[in-house]
Structure 1
């Protein structure tokens, strides 16, 4: 029996195919071969081969709908600047894991090792710890939301002096270490949004307090963003059919107070705010089922409030 690791197939068959697909799509989108080489981590000569069709590869991946969709998404993101190398790598790693789970990589593995056929092999599937996957998904979601905020028009105007953060909880979160957020918070500098680091669990007690209060009342609400309270933003929420909840700013236990106010409503509102107190800036929370969901809502509210201004 010949021993072939799935990772060998990823390197020998999957990676050349995806690189060739990406090179072709990036060329179509106007990127130079030098730029493509820098993005793919290969030589310009290799890119030339990929573009000319001499780079090899496997049609099994070229024809796979999930692979095609992922390659198109990465090509669009790299071209527009909405993705960087980290984002592209995250997309490809997620794709590889999916293709190993009864997908083309699994099929190729059975072809290379016929002894696996009929065994219902789940070696790759078994290796995917669901807890690790949940943590990875939350971190990816928060990072995507932060990038959405950075590109949202008008966002810099509603970042409070203490900074903004976006947080998302794991399912069944118990404390702030189960909530991922941006370490150091998000700040506005010279009209630009600065994201100082990639998200981490336990990075923000402030936004985690609001998130945990929300999930206690409604487990489907697992994320929140804090911004400065702005009347035009609140009015934009009302125009979308959202009734913002006002709460007091100076409670010692903010989490308990929020839970009580949510219980009074018998729901978690998509928008909650306070008007501030001595030494406390007026703050608004935008809630969502995920960090990206909350960021998309804030984007829509800012678009609505800009029309009012």
Structure 2
């Protein structure tokens, strides 16, 4: 794993670009190269290159509206005498903090350090606090669960037409933004499972609804996977001692309806399903404490279903 600090990118990529932008704008405002060099703390030779467009830099910053606005504001302030070096530094530090918050610096950091991709990293902004750690753990768990599902034999046949998803919530979730899932859902294509993107929080309303309803009934249940409803799969669950819970397919107030069914049962079952309705495909939810746990249970149920089908064919 490459270990790259955001500050390295600020020095190597951001600062040269901003200096070049400032030099060009100060020249446009009538400052001499000597004056520009004094303002920026660089040599006249460097200013000459900047003004000639030979200073290098990164187009991501040149094209970023916030960077452009800040540079223009600093150039106006320095050229007009309303700003000094302290004011300019304050503006740039504020800009850096903003660009580290899911901005161009953050994008560059993920490119230079691929291990950060898909983690929703905001380490630069929030620091390594317990909430950040919890979010990282959930995202990593969902990512592992998605890969587990992709490797399960027969999983492609269990994916409904609307797609499958796997979601997991933070402890004490408030709404769907506290539930991580795969954006765009997981689909079966050519007998293979396609995972379109790394998990993100707030990526799936449907699986989040099920997760939130389950967690409200039992805080230990924080994850769910949806698959196509199949009698053989339900039978495999019963053979494992799981009593699947049937619920109404209507999408309106599904969370409330699931909550009522869980309350009537007195617990959140490992498997809950509906038979569909007009325009609604039959779907089964598998619940668990973690996304990985639910994915593994799906794999076990599909394996049991396949074994049962093989035994029937031999009779």
Which bracket does the TM-score occupy, shorter chain normalised? 0.5 to 0.7
Q: 1:243 to 1:133 in 2, by over 3 A?
A: same
Partner of 1:156: 156
Q: How far 1:271 moved relative to its partner?
A: 0.1
Secondary structure of 2:226 counterpart: strand
Contact 1:274–1:284, Cα closer than 8 Å, also in 2? yes
Partner of 1:308: 308
Counterparts of 1:148 and 1:265, CA distance in 2: 30
TM-score, normalised by the number of residues in structure 2: 0.59
The farther-off stretch of 249-258 and 143-152 is 249-258
> Aligned residue pairs: how many?
194
Q: How far 1:87 moved relative to its partner?
A: 12
Secondary structure of 2:172 counterpart: coil
Deviations 1:215-234 (A, max 9, x none): 00000000000010011110
Partner of 1:255: 255
Counterparts of 1:173 and 1:252, CA distance in 2: 21
Secondary structure of 2:287 counterpart: strand
TM-score, normalised by the number of residues in structure 1: 0.60
Secondary structure of 1:281 counterpart: coil
Partner of 2:91: none
Counterparts of 1:252 and 1:287, CA distance in 2: 21
Q: How far 1:300 moved relative to its partner?
A: 0.5
Contact 1:251–1:257, Cα closer than 8 Å, also in 2? no
Q: Give the alignment's Cα RMSD to 1 decimal.
A: 2.4
Partner of 2:174: 174
Partner of 1:269: 269
Partner of 2:32: none
- Could you list the runs of 5+ residues in structure 2 that have no partner in the other structure? 6-111, 120-125, 310-315
Q: How far 1:88 moved relative to its partner?
A: 9.6
- Find runs of 4+ consecutive structure 1 residues off by over 6 angstroms: none
Counterparts of 1:135 and 1:250, CA distance in 2: 31
Partner of 2:23: none
Q: How far 1:127 moved relative to its partner?
A: 5.4
Pick the structure with greater CA Rg: 2
Counterparts of 2:297 and 2:198, CA distance in 1: 22
Counterparts of 2:181 and 2:254, CA distance in 1: 18
- Could you list the runs of 5+ residues in structure 1 that have no partner in the other structure? 1-6, 9-85, 94-125
Write the mapping of 1:147-296 to structure 2, written as runs, cut at 5 A.
Answer: 147-250=147-250, 252-296=252-296
